[in-house]
Every structure is written in C-alpha cells, then in structure tokens.
Amino acid sequence: MAAAAATTPHSLLLQRAATPAAPPRAAIAASSLRLSARAARISCAAVAAPSPAAAAAADEAERGVYNFAAGPATLPLSVLKRAQAELVDYHGSGMSIMEMSHRGKEFDAAIKKAEADLRALLAVPDTHAVLFLQGGATTQFAAVPLNLCAGPTDPADFVVSGSWSDKAFKEAKKFSAASVAWSGKDGKYTALPPFDAIKQNPEARFLHICSNETIHGVEFKDYPEPRNKSGILVADMSSNFCSKPVDVSRFGVIYAGAQKNVGPSGVTIAIVRKDLIGAAQPITPVMLDFKTHADNASLYNTPPCFAIYICGLVFEDLLAQGGLAEVEKKNAHKAGILYDTIDASGGYYICPVDKSVRSHMNVPFTLAKGPDFEKQFIAEAAKEGMVQLKGHRSVGGVRASIYNAMPLAGVEKLVAFMKDFQARNP
C-alpha cells in the first residue's frame, strides 16, 4: 500500500512543490487554496446522493425500459447489481452461489439470513414456520388440502374472487370436499363480498382466499374471519406478498410465489402455523408434506439456491427502505396516480374493478375505442420504453403491474404517455 501511495497524483504534486524551483510562498498558498477547494468539491460530489428523480432517470437510462410484467417481474436494480458483483465469487468463497453446496456454511448463512429478514419484515411470530419451497404457488393448491384435511371428505371453504382462487378451488376438490363460499364470477371478478355474505361451513377445515388476483386486479384490504372450528384462514398472497404489513398471526397458512414482489421464479414461500404441521394425508407426496420441509429447514433436497439468495437481497432492500409500512405508502401513491389518470380520462380508459378493492399491484384497464386501439397503445408504449403492458390472455386489454420494485418515475412516465395517447387519438 505504501508503494502505491507514493505514486498518487497528490504525492506527485507535493514532490513538485518541494523542488528547488519552488514558486514564492504567496503562489504556493494560492495553489494550496485552489487544491483544497477542488478536493472539497470532489469530496462533496462523492457523498452527495442523487435525487429520486435523477436516480430513476439513471436507472431508466441503464436498463432502457420500465418493465410492467405481471411476473416474473421487475427487480430492484440495486439487487441485480449486487447479485452481478457477487456472482462469480460469493463473499470470497471462490465459488458462485449457484455452484456451491446447499449444505455448505456459505449457503446455510444465506438462507438463514433470508428467513430472519423475512421474519423481521412481516413480524412472523414463533408460532409459524417459514418454508422455502418449489413448484410455484400452484403446487400449494394441492399441498394445502393434503396437509390440512384428514381425507377427501373433509370440507373446505373457498372465496373465488378470480382466476387463481378458482384454480385453487378446483385443485382442492381432488383432495377434500371443497366448496365455494362465495364467487365473483357473475360479476366478472370485479368486486369482493361483504364478509357476512361469505357462506362459511362451520365444519370446514379452512377458509381459503387469494389476497390479490393478479389477472383481474382485485385485492383484499382486510381479511375475513374464519368461522370454522379450527379458525384456519389460508391465503395465496403471491402477487401482493411483502407489499404491505400483514398480521401473520391471523393466518394458518400463507403461501406465495416469489416472482412478483420478492425474487425470481423458482421459489415459493410458505408461512405455516406450526400446530398444523405433521398431520398430512397418507397419500401426500413427500415433497408436498409441510413436515418434510419444516423438519429439514427447507433443505430436504437441493433447494432453488440462487432464487432464495435473490429473495434475501430483496428482503434486505425492503428493510433498508424502512420496512413494509413505508413500502405500502409508496405503493399506494403509485397506484393512486395511475387510477386517478384512468378515472379522469372521461371514460377513455376504463378500469372495471370496484374502487374499494382495486389492487395496488395489478391495474387492468381497457380503452373505450376498442381492442385495435389497445394494441396500438401497447405497441407505442413499448417504443417509448414501457414494456409488458398487454393484459392477460384470458381477459385482454391492458395491465400495468406496479410491484414494489417499479419506481415512481415508471408510473409517472406511463400516465404521461396515457394522457398524450388520448390527446393524439381522441
């Protein structure tokens, strides 16, 4: 280090100042003042943080697009850059986290920290286990009844508020006597029921909801109380997981695919009340038994190591933002800007979802001028750097997914484009 320091620019300047041809003291003093001022400017520039708008502009310039995909979805650029920096040599191990043993000390530390940070974010009580699983949330459509129902004759209640809760109900029918306690199908999945309108069976083993329907843009703002004897509420939280605080103690099971808000595809997170673990049906495959994973700290077999690692980085990022209460405020602000633009368009843009249950994560809308103009809208938006705005193939239209990692600048750019498009295509 000493040799390197001897050849720095500042040391060379000092060496020159010490030669016999040194200028008069007044010149040296003036030169020193100029150097000090320059050093101060450099120091200030090094520590000054860019404004949020400048940071967003820099991110857009680097990435080239704002990604409104419903999932896999945009991730924080800071997380991607950190993963990039650590990819080849993870924490000085000489290995990538993608190639090291899942039973080695490095990955053991990574998965434990990911769980600890998730517990901190959601205030997960000790009564609940955190499991890192595979197979997507869709696999939990089977795992939940297999673990919570004694057999195929045990009843279970489902609130069917959109495509995903409908799929969960249909899968559960294979392993339980599942029934629909309420359905929004007749209303094209644009509303949620008053909780007293949910026809619960007191003998049901659990009440299942989807907290946010990714396709239809319907989100629970509060949660129904289960009236079954066991008091078990189950929620698929895939598309609003870690977007706001949740009282985990109210739930028997929470499960979520990570690829919306907290990571890449490949890992599913389940938070399960511990007293519900260990009574799976005899036919339950070993990989669908919650006990298998709880007993082995999510390491029964090789887990999706890289996906879990990325989730851990996202959890760190969310904590650094001030936790989920702060994240919720940002999400509500972004969603408000977009919905206000839709509602102020004079019917040019239409969001069919009841205002009281509009999702803060997935905003579906159509154009009154019809599908051809929707295609034009999506194509022109893509040319302007706003991609993946096409609605789900089952419903069409436009859908803007504005998860945690979507910056405010992305939503602001979208609404500016919406206003411009309307002005150009009256």
Catalytic residues: 164, 236, 260
DSSP string, 152-175: TTSEEEEEE-SHHHHHHHHHHTTT
The CA distance from 166 to 185, in Å, is: 9
Sequence-distant (6+) residues with CB within 8 A of 425 are: 369, 373, 376
Sheet bearing 362-367, strands edge to edge: 349-350, 362-367, 398-401
DSSP string, 372-420: HHHHHHHHHHHHTTEE--BPPTTT-SEEEE--TTS-HHHHHHHHHHHHH
The CA distance from 159 to 177, in Å, is: 14
Sequence-distant (6+) residues with CB within 8 A of 235 are: 208, 209, 210, 211, 223, 251, 253, 254, 255
Residues 359 and 353 sit within 8 Å (Cβ to Cβ):
yes
